[in-house]
């Protein structure tokens, strides 16, 4: 299942997504928490103003995302999980 994070331009994830969050246009139920939590609000504010963040997300897009059972959610980011099904 996939969901667009940008209601204005579906299929994109750039700093407009964060600008939309600041304007109350987030699509996930957890979004208000990002703005109300003093630990995460500065990141939303920063990324809303940061075009470099948008370019970085575009660069990451060249890596093909694994879907369904092709990949795994790592318990530690720096190493693959050891047990396989």
Which residues make up each annotated binding site for Ca(2+)?
6, 14
Alpha carbons 30 and 34: distance in angstroms, whole number: 7
Q: Which residues are annotated as a binding site?
A: 6, 14
Positive or negative: CA dihedral 50, 54, 11, 41:
negative
């Amino acid at each position: 299942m996939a969901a667009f994070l940008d209601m204005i331009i579906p299929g994109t994830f750039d700093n407009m997504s964060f600008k939309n969050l600041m304007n109350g246009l987030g699509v996930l139920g957890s979004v208000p928490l990002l703005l109300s939590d003093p630990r995460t609000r500065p990141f939303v504010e920063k990324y809303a103003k940061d075009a470099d963040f948008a370019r970085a997300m575009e660069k990451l897009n060249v890596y093909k995302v694994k879907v369904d059972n092709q990949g795994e959610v790592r318990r530690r980011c720096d190493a693959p999980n050891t047990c396989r099904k």
